[in-house]
Amino acid sequence: MAAPESRRSHIARAAGADVLSAQGGNLVQQTVHRIAAIIRDEALRVGDQLPSEGALVDRLCVSRTVVREAIRALAALGIVDVGNGRRPRVAAATAFPFIMALTHSAQTGQITVQQIWEARSCIEVKTATLAAGFRTDEQSMRLLELAHEMRDCEDHGAVMAGLEIEFHQLIAVASRNILFEHLLASFAPLMLTAVPAAWSTRSTPEEEEEVIENHLGIATAIAEKNSKAAAKAMERHFDRAIGYLVKARYQLP
């Protein structure tokens, strides 16, 4: 009897099957992948023009209609920029695909609040660590300002949510890792409802002050370029934040 397949081999085989499946589909989907491959293989960079529509028709042996549909799909995914009277260009990366994927998964019940905040916690601890090493003086000053603005904020709804989103997004920007920046941006729509829900369960001044002190601790550690302290402060913040969401029985919108 053959030895059981290792877990690593199984995962790699499954991932390969997913890629092959994604590259299948109808002619338009196949053309989307083939145009994306042209961008990759020709090392095109942001702002570079794609081959003309006619060149793509000849190269890919498909109709103009298929090429146009594929370009529209790539534009919707944020991979190319299109405009009247000019050839499509390679687009700059944005958080849009991440936002769409996370929002869709949340709204269709494919992920839970617990899973979202566990993933966000892991990402944010790393971004805080990196931000402590790479932040600029301006970023450090703004983080401290935001923490103090949160202390003075009496609106624990949309205004507080906006301050928290800016605080955490700025840390992601300061990490100098664009992937973390985009991943964190994808959580922003959910934070608009999660932050007020968590604040609604903080019934004492001491609990409210603890939240502010946690944010000040994160901002101070980053300002002092203390990576370990920044990571620990972020871990403490998320341990408490998840507890408040559970207490609020928060459900995804």
**2: in domain:** no
Highest mean pLDDT among 14-28, 132-146, 193-207: 132-146
CB within 8 A of 44, min separation 6: which ones?
Answer: 38, 50, 90
DSSP assignment string, the chain: -PPPPPHHHHHHHHHHHHHHHHT-SSHHHHHHHHHHHHHHHTT--TTPBPPPHHHHHHHHT--HHHHHHHHHHHHHTTSEEEETTEEEEEPPP-SHHHHHHHHHHHHTTSS-HHHHHHHHHHHHHHHHHHHHHH--HHHHHHHHHHHHHHHH---TTHHHHHHHHHHHHHHHHHTT-HHHHHHHHHTHHHHHHHHHHHHTT--SHHHHHHHHHHHHHHHHHHHTT-HHHHHHHHHHHHHHHHHHHHHTT----
* 43 token code pair: 């090392």
Residue at a domain's end among 90, 124, 146: 90
Q: What is the pLDDT of residues 158-212, one digit of tens each?
A: 898 899 999 999 999 999 999 999 999 998 888 888 888 888 887 788 888 888 9
CATH number of domain containing 32: 1.10.10.10
The reply to whether 122 and 203 lie within a common domain is: yes
**223: pLDDT strictly greater than 60:** yes
251 against 82, higher pLDDT: 82
- On whether the pTM is more than 0.85, the answer is no
d(CA 28, CA 26): 6
The reply to whether 161 and 41 lie within a common domain is: no
Q: Would you state the pLDDT for residue 116?
A: 85
Q: Look at the block and give the residue holding tokens 């916690």.
A: 121
Q: Would you state the pLDDT for residue 252?
A: 67
d(CA 1, CA 71): 50
Number of domains the chain contains: 2
Q: Percent of the chain scored above 70 by pLDDT?
A: 87
**237: pLDDT strictly greater than 80:** yes
Looking at every residue in the chain, the average pLDDT score rounds to 87
**135: pLDDT strictly greater than 60:** yes
**39: pLDDT strictly greater than 60:** yes
Q: Would you state the pLDDT for residue 195?
A: 83
The reply to whether 77 and 102 lie within a common domain is: no
Q: How confident is the model at residue 10 (pLDDT cuts 50, 70, 90)?
A: very low
The reply to whether 229 and 128 lie within a common domain is: yes
Q: How confident is the model at residue 25 (pLDDT cuts 50, 70, 90)?
A: low
Q: How confident is the model at residue 69 (pLDDT cuts 50, 70, 90)?
A: very high
The reply to whether 84 and 107 lie within a common domain is: no
